[in-house]
Amino acid sequence: MTNKKGIHFEVSERKVLLRLMDMAMVLLGVYILGLFFDYEYLFINQNNLTEIIVLLLYIIVFGTVFELYHLKRASRFDTTFRNTVITCSTVVLFYMLTPVVTPFLPEERIQILYFYLTLIASILVWRLGYIYLIESPRFYKRVLLVAEISNLEGLVKALDTKDPNYKIVGFINSEPSHEDAIKYTGLPEFKAKNFLEVIEKEQVSEVLVASFNAEAIIAEVYHDLMLLLERGFKIREYTQVYEQMLQRVPIQFVGKDFYKYFPFSRSNENKLYIFFHRLFDIIISLLGLAFGLFILPFIYLGNLLGNKGPLFYKQERIGRNSKPFQILKLRTMIADAEKDGVKWAQKNDKRITPFGKFLRRSRLDEIPQFFNVLKGEMSIIGPRPERPFFVNELSRIIPFYETRHIIKPGLTGWAQVNERYGASVEDSLTKLQYDLYYIKHRSVFLDINIFLKTMSTILYYRGQ
């Protein structure tokens, strides 16, 4: 068997590639514009290094906000075209209005139009190449799964929804097969004795082992896995791939060796990180409260007409170290919404008023929580605080649920920018996976990513 592998870009590699090529194509486009046309707004040379850096920074920041680097949306030209136009429009607007670090406006204002159209054209030309080349089947990663049949459906479903370029070609049963054993028809099944031949025939570039009882792997499969490992073939464990691709901690697959999955981020104890995190909380909450005071008359009028009841409401939530506190929000539901008992907030919940729906979708209902952030009960970024009733219920059902309380709850978080609704135990499990991923990988860069994605949620009107 030859160790022949196809070319494949990992999720992180494609995100880096998109950003680098966007910047390179913009520089190339603006350079060509200055070379062949009557244009003098921005030249690509060493004298304009500051102006060039600011331009590239704006492209990366606003490209993130307007989802140019969301892989699923980047694989479709219609959404790519829309997001590129919105991004370039915002970039040019900010670029013109930023003093000192950007060029003076040219006497011929039409050059701004040339600059704007060049940015759009440069990015779109490259993105067409990305969609029809990098996203084509020739760059798919072909994976063979080694797993127990009883776990296959959940395993395949989780990975299949994240990366369309990650193709599981089939599976090999890691347990002894019996005539009366259950069958899985969602994937082709290959015989264990043909393990090495399947890798060659199907051009497999990676073997994914998802056996939760290593001692149960049959000797024939175990021998071939060792042989592949000795030949330098890529073999990975399922939970490792799950966390890397989905950016969630797979707690449903964690057993007695749970301690291996939770080497929590050093940022949780880093004094410098904690100081700047708190400083960021104070600055953003002061700005948020100032904005809230400015729009308060409009909110009051909308509440008077559309909610017909109290403007604010308080509710007990669980904070850091499981300590309860009173959260402050703008009311979005009818008065006495829980007169019949505590209920999950559902999608299209009938208890939500028309004006309350607007407040939720725009995230304006969260503005009073900046007061909780100033008091130190919450942070801008962290797991969303839950009510005591649901915490008690979910803690009994979901393992490690209380672990999310080791840091302050937040206005927004990794779960909120990745999952929209949490109206069931299953949804809560998914959100907990995201929360634990944040606690495990907490850093300045992840915080910035969450903040930018939150801006995207607000601008695209996707609040819950």
Whole-number pLDDT of residue 285: 96
Mean pLDDT (whole number) for 398-405: 89
Mean pLDDT (whole number) for 181-190: 78
Which tokens is 394 given?
């979910």
Pairing mode of beta strands 324-330, 141-147: unpaired
Q: How confident is the model at residue 343 (pLDDT cuts 50, 70, 90)?
A: low
Q: Which of 189, 212, 226, 245 is nearest to 10 (CA)?
A: 245
Q: Are residues 404 and 305 in the same domain?
A: yes
Residue 63 lies in a domain: yes
Spatial distance between the Cα atoms of 453 and 456, rounded to a whole number of angstroms: 5
Of 134, 163, 198, which residue sits at a domain end?
134
Whole-number pLDDT of residue 100: 82
Q: How confident is the model at residue 211 (pLDDT cuts 50, 70, 90)?
A: confident
**pLDDT above 60 (res 2):** no
Note the pLDDT tens digit of each residue in 382-396.
999 999 988 998 888
Mean pLDDT (whole number) for 135-142: 78
Residues with Cβ within 8 Å of 113's Cβ and at least 6 positions away in sequence, in order, are: none
User: 450 in the Ramachandran plot: left (φ > 0), alpha (ψ -120 to 50) or beta?
Assistant: alpha
Note the pLDDT tens digit of each residue in 426-449.
888 889 999 999 999 999 999 999
Longest dimension (CA), the chain: 82
Q: Are residues 295 and 425 in the same domain?
A: yes
Residue 257 lies in a domain: no
Percent of the chain with pLDDT over 90: 38
Mean pLDDT (whole number) for 222-234: 89
User: 53 in the Ramachandran plot: left (φ > 0), alpha (ψ -120 to 50) or beta?
Assistant: alpha
**pLDDT above 70 (res 257):** no
**pLDDT above 90 (res 157):** no
Q: How confident is the model at residue 61 (pLDDT cuts 50, 70, 90)?
A: very high
Q: Are residues 241 and 323 in the same domain?
A: no
Residue 213 lies in a domain: yes
Mean pLDDT (whole number) for 354-361: 86
**pLDDT above 90 (res 293):** yes
How many C-alpha atoms does 181 have within 13 Å on its Cβ side? Answer: 12
Spatial distance between the Cα atoms of 316 and 175, rounded to a whole number of angstroms: 49
Whole-number pLDDT of residue 345: 66
Q: Name which residue leads in pLDDT, 414 or 266.
A: 414
Residue 3 lies in a domain: no
**pLDDT above 70 (res 7):** no
Q: Name the average pLDDT for the chain.
A: 86
Note the pLDDT tens digit of each residue in 67-122.
899 888 888 899 999 999 999 999 999 998 887 888 888 878 888 999 999 999 99
Residue 220 lies in a domain: yes
Number of domains in the chain: 3
Q: Are residues 121 and 224 in the same domain?
A: no
Note the pLDDT tens digit of each residue in 312-339.
989 999 999 999 999 999 988 877 666 6
Positive or negative, the CA dihedral 382, 387, 392, 397 is: negative
Q: How confident is the model at residue 344 (pLDDT cuts 50, 70, 90)?
A: low
Please, are residues 441 and 449 in contact by the beta-carbon 8 Å criterion?
A: no
Residue 251 lies in a domain: no
Q: Are residues 429 and 331 in the same domain?
A: yes
Q: How confident is the model at residue 127 (pLDDT cuts 50, 70, 90)?
A: very high
Q: Which domain holds residue 438?
A: 266-459
Q: Are residues 123 and 226 in the same domain?
A: no
Q: Which of 148, 173, 145, 175 is nearest to 159 (CA)?
A: 145
Of 80, 110, 134, which residue sits at a domain end?
134
Of 119, 134, 149, which residue sits at a domain end?
134
Q: Are residues 349 and 288 in the same domain?
A: yes
Q: Mean pLDDT: which of 57-66, 233-242, 267-276, 353-362 is highest?
A: 57-66
Q: Are residues 129 and 148 in the same domain?
A: no
Q: Are residues 310 and 329 in the same domain?
A: yes
Whole-number pLDDT of residue 351: 81
Q: Are residues 34 and 87 in the same domain?
A: yes
Residue 254 lies in a domain: no
Domain containing residue 180: CATH number: 3.40.50.10700
Q: Are residues 441 and 293 in the same domain?
A: yes
Whole-number pLDDT of residue 179: 61
Residue 6 lies in a domain: no
Q: Are residues 280 and 358 in the same domain?
A: yes
